Structure 1
Amino acid sequence: MLCENISPTRRAVLGASGALFAWAFMPRFAHAAGGRDPRFVTIILRGALDGLTAVPPIGDPNYEGLRQQIALRFDGDKPALPLDGFFGLHPSMPKFQKMFQAKEAAVVHASATAYRERSHFDGQDVLESGYSTPGHVETGWLNRLLEGLPAGEKIAPGASERVRGLSVGANAPLVIRGKAPVLGWAPSVLKAADGDLAPRLAQLYGKTDPLLSELLKEGIETGKIASGLDVKARGGPGDPNGMEQMARGAARLLAQPEGPRVAALAFEGWDTHAQETERLAKLLSGLDNSLAAFREELGPVWKDTAIVVATEFGRTARINGTEGTDHGTGTTAFLAGGAVAGGRVITDWPGLKDSQLFEARDLAATTDIRAVVKGMAVDLLGASAGHLADVVFPGSQAVQPMKGLIV
């Protein structure tokens, strides 16, 4: 199967990066579930993660025959990390395994959106827009969730009482685009400016454009909080170092007492048609380090944090002739955070017999990812189930919020 050439111009580009943005720090949730001060992070993996390699069902008698030379085992040179005896974890994710063992992480296997075709663009539209069909690219479900959350404390007289979010990356992911104000931040890829440049610009615009001067000041402060990272090498959202850098910066902003509470990131490059073993090992290492960076940088607020990692669809159950996998259906979602009821693989496992595969080729999806997000939004953020069904995920009344995901 040929892949579409994914380019930034394919979607409407919205949102700001590093230096300037339109909104400053955010109010706290006024009525978050349990009276806590939560953080909710969504990480999109673009390109379709192979859930059968990320979290291999080693206990399924048909797994090894389908995966052949790329199958993972609990023994050998690079054994899978044990989760529960039936499922393993890719060896590139030891930090996630430690979170899992500490009951701060979970896996949702055989999950998917409502989409059953295999186009990256359409699959990503459905995943990020929250609609059950593609073509809705004006707003994302996370932004509409922000719009419907209980009002928070005012950040200034006359300011909006709505909770606002954080978009990480040069372009705002569709999932967080919309009417609710969003802070934008991206790691700098440019040479650092002279130390006196920012003060000189602030002085200039303070006389000619007070509004822009204030935004510049806010941008400088945000940059100071998110910068100073320990990551030496820089990379983009498809590079392990770039992933970790994005995560660390986001976590530092989320950790601020008056900072944002909801964030969205997108990591690229998860399309593994050929030579999957080496490529996915590298990418999963980046994801593992990113989740660990959130845990490290969030500090005390980690206990009230929930992160959901999702992708547009999965991969075929059988490998192809180039030791890779093609576009599929069911896949794996990851949950992490001190607020997550972890230490378990959540699944209604469909099995891997030919008769159990979707269209005789893919892992069948038995869990709707919308149910997962709804459950977390209700129990962590105090979101309304009605608003989730009608506005956040339009037409999803039959998809009930999953219970028991948040402690």
Structure 2
Amino acid sequence: MHHAHDLNEHAPDEHEQKTRLVMSRRRFLAALGGATASLAVWSHGAWAAPMSAPRMVVVLLRGAMDGLHLMPPRDDPHYLRARGALAVQGAKPLDGSFGLHPALPFAHDLFARRQLLPLVAVAPPYRQRSHFDAQDCLENGTAAPGGRRDGWIGRCVEAMTGAEGVAIAQVMPLAMRGSTRADIWSPPLPRDPSAMLMQQLQALYAEDARLAPAFADAMQAQDMAMGTGTAGAFRLPDAMSAAARRLQGTDGARIAFVEDTGWDTHRGQEAALARKFGELDAGLRALHDGLGEDWRSTVVLVVTEFGRTVAANGSSGTDHGVGGMALLAGGAVRGSRIAGNWPGLATADLQDGRDLRATTDLRAVFKGVLLGHLGLRESAVESHVFPDSRSVRPFDGLV
């Protein structure tokens, strides 16, 4: 509290005036220094702690996740007519056109907090419908299957001074190969080895027109067992928790790769994807909670190898398509909007009259994160991480 002084109680002499002036200048400079420091902190957030080193998590949903079921264009008559009874009901609104599947409440909350950025009509440069070839292309980072024997994420780790990467998987995925500073963390093997074998064979059987339906039925039965905890498989939320543990702290890894299977929904898609989206949502929450403050400096890319047909098939499912959807999440993401170029679902706008047409190469999205978030040099991205891809310009404004 300040008190009024009697102006006649003491008249300072010349020495006292000089002393007071010097002390006032010192107090002003000290206060100015403190205010400058406060402004520096304030510029990054409301009195926030310094940001930790940037982190990236890539989540690959193997099997071709149905992007139109993840993010339905809710009132689009072409979508409603093509999907019929399979059209998503109760989608949570994102904007005036798209919604998010109701099994993803945490992801929807991230969108409201500007930490979720959905991307529409994306795919790797491979635009056919083979699981093997599409995943190979997505992971090797070139324009074609077999283009490299190492992966773009492994090459990214090598391009970052002192950074380490970790794959949460049973075997080292192609995407993480190519770096001496990338390792693998493998969960305990499932109690039922046949479950793991079925997952590994999923893509192979899906290519056979005669065997695919029977194998899909077997996989669905296996998934139901896994959902009740009887198969002992390593679930996506557990994998995301493991990734958070490896990424935490100043000595943690900078890049993580997480994979999940069971997204090939030729039959009974509605129930299967409600469960799978619930696991994805729980996985994002587990990563968010596990990272703590490090979430602020994290970008999560949720991708799949291709999309699925716009129209439902006769088995309450969808078949292999081309264009799909992706999600970016994390405290470093510029979210709360829809990104990408939506081509529409009218028959004339579809690829081959049946698939969502991809308008964005996934490599453009990856490049945007590597340059804008991880701070890689453009020369390293263009010559080493994604060679022969200069025509694919980075997707700006993601972070």
TM-score (norm 2): 0.76
Distance 1:128 1:186 in 2: 19
Q: Which amino acid aligns with 1:168?
A: I
Residues 129-168 of structure 1 aligned to structure 2 (within 5 Å): 129-136=140-147, 138-149=149-160, 151=161, 162-168=162-168
Distance 2:386 2:285 in 1: 30
1:235, distance to aligned residue in structure 2 (A): 6.3
Aligned position for 1:116: 127
Distance 2:148 2:179 in 1: 13
1:148, distance to aligned residue in structure 2 (A): 1.5
Residue in structure 1 matching 2:241, options 223, 228, 248? 248
Aligned position for 1:353: 346
Aligned position for 1:377: 370
Aligned position for 1:61: 77
Instruction: Output one character per residue of 1:254-304: Cα deviation in whole Å (capped at 9) or x when no partner.
Output: 113211111001101110111111111111111111011110000011000
Residue in structure 2 matching 1:314, options 285, 307, 310? 307
- Shift of the 279–137 alpha-carbon distance from structure 1 to 2, 3 Å rule, reads farther
Q: Which amino acid aligns with 2:58?
A: T
The answer on 1:398 being equivalent to 2:391 is yes
Residues 177-196 of structure 1 aligned to structure 2 (within 5 Å): 177-189=177-189
Aligned position for 1:76: none
- Shift of the 284–235 alpha-carbon distance from structure 1 to 2, 3 Å rule, reads farther
Aligned position for 1:217: none
Aligned position for 1:301: 294
Q: Which amino acid aligns with 2:53?
A: D
Contact 1:173–1:265 under 8 Å retained in 2: no
Aligned position for 2:68: 52
Contact 2:249–2:294 under 8 Å retained in 1: no
Name the structure, 1 or 2, with higher relative contact order (CA <8 Å, separation 6+).
1
Aligned position for 2:198: none
* Structure 1 spans left out of the alignment, 5+ residues: 1-33, 74-78, 152-161, 192-231
The answer on 1:278 being equivalent to 2:289 is no
The answer on 1:368 being equivalent to 2:379 is no
1:386, distance to aligned residue in structure 2 (A): 2.4
Contact 1:168–1:264 under 8 Å retained in 2: yes
Contact 1:47–1:271 under 8 Å retained in 2: yes
- Shift of the 268–397 alpha-carbon distance from structure 1 to 2, 3 Å rule, reads same
Q: Percent identity?
A: 41
Residues 101-112 of structure 1 aligned to structure 2 (within 5 Å): 101-112=112-123
Say which SS state the counterpart of residue 187 (structure 1) adopts.
Answer: coil
1:339, distance to aligned residue in structure 2 (A): 0.3
Distance 2:230 2:175 in 1: 25
Distance 2:276 2:334 in 1: 25
1:233, distance to aligned residue in structure 2 (A): 5.1
1:128, distance to aligned residue in structure 2 (A): 0.6
Contact 1:187–1:245 under 8 Å retained in 2: no
Contact 1:59–1:85 under 8 Å retained in 2: no
Aligned position for 1:96: 107
1:389, distance to aligned residue in structure 2 (A): 2.1
Say which SS state the counterpart of residue 381 (structure 1) adopts.
Answer: coil
Say which SS state the counterpart of residue 62 (structure 1) adopts.
Answer: helix
Please say which of residues 339-348 and 298-307 is displaced more in the overlay. 339-348
Aligned position for 2:93: 82
Q: Which amino acid aligns with 1:139?
A: D
Aligned position for 1:338: 331
Say which SS state the counterpart of residue 374 (structure 1) adopts.
Answer: helix
Distance 1:394 1:242 in 2: 34
1:120, distance to aligned residue in structure 2 (A): 0.3
TM-score (norm 1): 0.74
Larger Rg, first or second structure (1 or 2): 2
- Shift of the 333–234 alpha-carbon distance from structure 1 to 2, 3 Å rule, reads farther
Say which SS state the counterpart of residue 365 (structure 1) adopts.
Answer: coil
Instruction: Output one character per residue of 1:76-135: Cα deviation in whole Å (capped at 9) or x when no partner.
Output: xxx111111210111111110000110011101111111111100000000111011012
Contact 1:82–1:89 under 8 Å retained in 2: yes
Contact 2:190–2:231 under 8 Å retained in 1: no
Distance 2:254 2:170 in 1: 20
Say which SS state the counterpart of residue 269 (structure 1) adopts.
Answer: coil
Q: Which amino acid aligns with 2:348?
A: S
The answer on 1:287 being equivalent to 2:287 is no
Q: Which amino acid aligns with 1:276?
A: Q
Q: Aligned-pair RMSD on alpha carbons?
A: 2.0
